[in-house]
Amino acid sequence: MRLVFAGTPDAAVPSLRLLAQEGHDIALVVTRPDAPLGRKRVLTPSPVGRAAEELGLPVLKAARLDDAATAAIMQTAPDLGVIVAYGGLVREPLLSTPAHGWINLHFSLLPRWRGAAPVQRAIIAGDRQTGTAVFQLVAGLDAGAVFAQSAHDIPPEATAGTLLEELAGSGARQLSGVVADIASGRARAHPQSGEPTYAPKLTLDDARLRWTGPADAVLARLRGVTPEPGAFTTLDGARVKVLRARHAERDGPALAPGELVSVGRDVLVGTGTTPLVLETVQPAGKGAMAAADWRRGLRADIVRVGT
């Protein structure tokens, strides 16, 4: 099939590579513009942009699918549009430009977690299962009929980053199968059923750890916002990133939410239920370090975070 592919992050790269490997005519790859990265803010192509260049595919860099982008895509006369985490909306007349419309690989079991951050929201909510879905793109948010859907258990220690990497690989294979079915005329889509839930883009406040909540909920939030935007707490108004934490393996002292103490080699922090062990933190302006080293540098018998 003659395809237009729209995607931006690492999670979209396996789909692009597999579709190219299987011999589809990828007439154009649409991705978001180069972004400043690192301390020196060097303009860097998106992961999809880099992959497309490696594959020798034509690339259109567009922050949104405006009139100019629409005209460029229409000129390619695609059979099908494929979108995987592009980061922008497809509206008419672009929605109807490809002969078979657009399909979207989404990282959830629709209609649960429609929106920009389905993997992150699933982990934060404590879901034990998520999955991938390939659906027909329509004007409503992730509301189109589903061609294929597959469940995936969420490992207890999974972060949003590790889980999304797993789903990106299995989802690419699922997407490839749907493209092949559309090409052969075998594809059949079914309306979504069930009550939708929504997964808005994460904000910085979503990454703030709330020590008054249950320990399980604190850990779920930490995993759900890792690696981006990154979990944090505060100490005397300064932000401290929390990179790793776990349940305590032994009974410790009763601690108030946010109360921080050292017990042997462990640094414990109180929650609304049982304490957690902080393993790795990153204070503002410094590199990542063992929580025990950070705690020793505070020079206080008892401190409280989250204040």
Mean pLDDT of the chain: 95
Predicted pLDDT at 131: 98
Predicted pLDDT at 78: 97
Using the predicted structure, report yes or no on whether residue 301 has a pLDDT greater than 80.
no
29 contacts 16 by C-beta, under 8 angstroms: yes
Indicate the pTM of the whole model.
0.94
Predicted pLDDT at 136: 98
Using the predicted structure, report yes or no on whether residue 297 has a pLDDT greater than 90.
no
Residue found under tokens 């396996």: 14
Using the predicted structure, report yes or no on whether residue 88 has a pLDDT greater than 80.
yes
Could you report the per-residue pLDDT of 247-258, keeping only the tens digit for each? 988 767 889 999
**What domains does the chain contain, in order, with CATH numbers?**
2-184 (3.40.50.170), 205-304 (3.10.25.10)
Could you report the per-residue pLDDT of 186-243, keeping only the tens digit for each? 999 999 999 999 999 999 999 999 999 999 999 999 999 999 999 999 998 899 999 9
Lowest mean pLDDT among 118-132, 180-194, 250-264: 250-264
CB-CB neighbours of 121 under 10 Å: 24
Using the predicted structure, report yes or no on whether residue 138 has a pLDDT greater than 80.
yes
Spatial distance between the Cα atoms of 250 and 262, rounded to a whole number of angstroms = 13
Spatial distance between the Cα atoms of 188 and 84, rounded to a whole number of angstroms = 20
Using the predicted structure, report yes or no on whether residue 307 has a pLDDT greater than 70.
no
Using the predicted structure, report yes or no on whether residue 39 has a pLDDT greater than 80.
no
